[in-house]
Amino acid sequence: MNMMLCSLLLTASAVAAGPDLKLWYRQPASSWEEALPVGNGRLGAMVFGGVQEERLQLNEGNIWSGNRKDYDRVGAYKFFPEIRKMIYDGQHKAAQALVKKEVLGERPLGCYQPLGDLILAFEGLEKPTDYRREVDLDTAVARVSFRAGDALYTREVFSSVPDQVLMVRLTCDKPGRLTFKAQLRREADAESASQGSRGLVLRGQCDRGKPTAGTCFIGRLEALPEGGRVASQGGVLRVEQADAVTLLVNAASDYRPGDYEAQCARQLAAAARPYAELREAHIKEHQRLFRRVTLDLGAAPERPTDERLQLLRQGTPDSALVALYFQYGRYLLISSSRPGNLPANLQGLWNDKLAPPWFCGWHFDINVQMNYWPAETANLGECHEPFFDLVDALRVNGRKTAKDVYGGRGFVFAHRTTAWLFSTPANGLNIWPPAAGWCCQHLWDHYLFTQDRAFLQNKAYPIMKEAAEFFLGWLTPNPVTGKLVSGPSISPENTFLTGEKSFAELDMGPAMDQQIAAELFDNCLAAGAVLGINDEFIGNIRKARAQLAGPQIGSDGRLLEWSTERPEREPGHRHLSHLYAVYPGGQITPRGTPELAAAARQALESRLQHGGVRGSGKAADSGNTGWSLAWSANLWARLGDAERTGQTIEKLVREITFPNLMDKCPSGVKGVFQIDGNFGTTAAIAEMLLQSHAGEIQLLPALPKPWANGSVTGLRARGNFVVDIKWKNGVVSHYRITSPEPRDVQVRVNGEVKTVRSEKK
């Protein structure tokens, strides 16, 4: 019997909100890491839920310090032959000194900064009871409720995509009980004032008066009271004895062309409509994306999220909390990455610091790519678009960097950038040229998932071609083997020992560079076949691909990280760069390349033995870093090790997670929020349930024993398929595959490979 035709699953649009889709707490947030996020891709807030004083920490995605500047070291390419010879001769320190002196440019300054805070100070709310604070992932509405005296007070907060305004709704079931003051504040570089009789305005500039002065910005608030009185004077808005109040908040900056203050005012004025209408439009748009996927890993206990997290740390299993974490990742991506905006940065959209860790920008040696790992599999392809736009925008500066720094064609950018789109390798970091090639994997994958030929032809392929043109000029023959290698370059952030107390980074042909180049060439050839292109460029790619140095296995059976066998300075290092071809790439698979897969597994085992699930005590090792654990989980899933995948995810949720389920990254004693761990874990959970990178759709490729019974609907597979699965006792009991038009597809289910025909959507 065809199991697809037996599917009894609910459709993805039939989900209803419940405990599994809510983060909730019995007390206000005592720190930023306990507050709850809302966002529309541009305008975000962290809701603290205080009773007598409510704080909403505000962000607008275009508020950046710093400015545009040329950092390229023109003519640096003249030194590459000498640097390469030094590396081949083992003169690593001399090579590094020459790179620093002649190749690396000035370190760009500037960072993503907060808009400020909205502070609401209430009167008459002493001794609250029945307190509850929550964010509903299904509606994208944060809510606070409590009783004070004989009255029930509620607050709702959401950030609307249709109206481009943050909404704060305050109500009480007793008339005339709402009395409070509202203020817009910022730590520095801004002033607040009253705007009319019922509004506030905050104006400023990032790092005003400093060399890093950046965008000018405005934040505005408008109060719409029902009953009572409202007045604004001296930067303080006061509401007295109202029945209900809607606060509309908006912000804008001069990052983009146009009159940003007028735009802010227009959007605010257009949103002055009935609250129910605004709320309905917001929820409808959010659910259009969010309700595409459901995941059931078991019933959730009716306990606050922080209590569930604490119980998990004490050893109480909670698979439903993992399912909630998965959906939270989807919620965060929807909330921080919408078409037309800048992509999700190191903290997505939410940051409360004027000088955030790692400048809260885009880091291309893992972090920004990991942000978008779940975009296609978790059925949020539209949310991928801001990332494509960033890569496209970097082409302008990247062409100049390719020409002036590397002496080549195409485009290239370094391992990090800001909203000002610098592309040069900078001091304090190192030279690492494959970033654009890695980003091109996302463009090709988007085509594979959507089968959108117009996207491939008009956007993806031109970018892929330019990135590949850079590699064609950059790769050089190894003087011993004659194989083409990339270098000088590094294996991101890792180092190898060159003596008892000496270590180095630079290499000719590190594994990640080679794997990215091979993948980019393969994808360009595949894209050319789809588009009917067989020109000189395709011929050059085909020739270079055949000459490219490939993966190597060391004497101990491990996949090598560098071009030759070298001892790691940090055996438990958080980066797993040499395993790129396993995940997020797909060149190494257990069935397609079993010897390389075994070597990759051994390399992963070795790395994690020194710093993985058990941990090493070093803050930056793989076992103490959320994004590194997320990468490990994806690797274990691709290698088919269900139990190791499950254990890794459980450790991440149990130990590397703040009370608001945001991911933690080591920085000082407390650690800081870094969103890539959330997104990487969402991607890993999807990989455990569905894989489609090896020429077939595989159902439940890495299902751990604690998830023995469950269901998922709406996951996407390459080929523009949508897949629903139900399983019992670890065995698929029903599944359904749909596509725009019925097509035959290879499916691996319960150890058997079969050809099935998809159903029409």
Domain containing 735 — which CATH number?
2.60.40.1180
Q: At 433, which amino acid appears?
A: P
Task: With H, G, I as helix, E, B as strand and everything else as coil, classify residue 403.
Answer: helix
Do 7 and 134 have their domain in common?
no
pLDDT digits (tens, 9 = 90+) for 454-512: 999 999 999 999 999 999 999 999 999 999 999 999 999 999 999 877 999 999 999 99
Do 203 and 236 have their domain in common?
yes
Alpha-carbon distance of 21 to 449, in angstroms, equals 26
What does the mean pLDDT of the chain come to?
A: 94
C-alpha pair distances (Å), 50 with each of 26, 27, 31, 34, 180 = 11, 8, 11, 12, 13
- Residue 48 falls inside a structural domain: yes
What is the pLDDT confidence band of residue 668, given thresholds at 50, 70 and 90?
low
DSSP for 258-287 reads S-HHHHHHHHHHHT-S-HHHHHHHHHHHHH
What is the pLDDT confidence band of residue 597, given thresholds at 50, 70 and 90?
very high
Residue at token pair 């392929």: 461
Do 163 and 277 have their domain in common?
yes
Do 38 and 167 have their domain in common?
yes
Q: What is the pLDDT of residue 609?
A: 87
* Domain end point (choices 221, 255, 288): 288
At CB < 8 A and 24+ separation, what contacts does 9-14 make? 9/711, 9/713, 9/724, 9/725, 9/726, 9/734, 9/736, 10/294, 10/713, 11/713, 11/724, 12/291, 12/292, 12/293, 12/294, 12/379, 12/713, 12/714, 12/722, 12/724, 13/291, 13/292
Give the pLDDT mean for 104-111.
Answer: 93
Do 7 and 60 have their domain in common?
no
- Residue 228 falls inside a structural domain: yes
Alpha-carbon distance of 443 to 423, in angstroms, equals 19
Do 136 and 183 have their domain in common?
yes
Q: How many domains does the chain have?
A: 2
Do 168 and 36 have their domain in common?
yes
- Residue 146 falls inside a structural domain: yes
Do 7 and 140 have their domain in common?
no
What is the pLDDT confidence band of residue 14, given thresholds at 50, 70 and 90?
very low
Do 215 and 251 have their domain in common?
yes
Alpha-carbon distance of 447 to 461, in angstroms, equals 10
What is the pLDDT confidence band of residue 126, given thresholds at 50, 70 and 90?
confident
Q: What is the pLDDT of residue 9?
A: 33
Q: If you ran DSSP here, which 8-state letter would residue 588 be given?
A: -
Domain that holds residue 727: 3-11+707-760
Q: What is the pLDDT of residue 667?
A: 54
pLDDT digits (tens, 9 = 90+) for 231-261: 999 999 999 999 999 999 999 999 999 999 9
- Residue 36 falls inside a structural domain: yes
Other beta carbons within 10 angstroms of residue 317's beta carbon come to 12
* Domain end point (choices 254, 288, 322): 288
Domain containing 151 — which CATH number?
2.70.98.50
Which of these, 406, 340, 409, 344, lies nearest to 371 by C-alpha position? Answer: 344
Q: Is the pLDDT of residue 760 over 90?
A: yes
Q: Is the pLDDT of residue 16 over 60?
A: no
Alpha-carbon distance of 339 to 372, in angstroms, equals 13
Contact 197, 231 (CB under 8 A): yes
pLDDT digits (tens, 9 = 90+) for 278-303: 999 999 999 999 999 999 999 999 99
What is the pLDDT confidence band of residue 669, given thresholds at 50, 70 and 90?
low
* Domain end point (choices 288, 304, 332): 288
Do 7 and 38 have their domain in common?
no
Alpha-carbon distance of 136 to 290, in angstroms, equals 11
- Residue 70 falls inside a structural domain: no
- Residue 164 falls inside a structural domain: yes
Q: Which two tokens stand for residue 749?
A: 């289910």
Do 144 and 278 have their domain in common?
yes
Comparing 671 with 186, the larger pLDDT belongs to: 186
Do 170 and 59 have their domain in common?
yes
CA 466, 563, 523: angle at the middle one, nearest 5?
30
- Residue 466 falls inside a structural domain: no
pLDDT digits (tens, 9 = 90+) for 144-171: 999 999 999 999 999 999 999 999 999 9
Q: What is the pLDDT of residue 368?
A: 98
- Residue 185 falls inside a structural domain: yes
Which of these, 98, 706, 35, lies nearest to 352 by C-alpha position? Answer: 35
Q: Which helix (H) or strand (E) holds 401?
A: helix 385-404
pLDDT digits (tens, 9 = 90+) for 201-213: 999 999 999 999 9
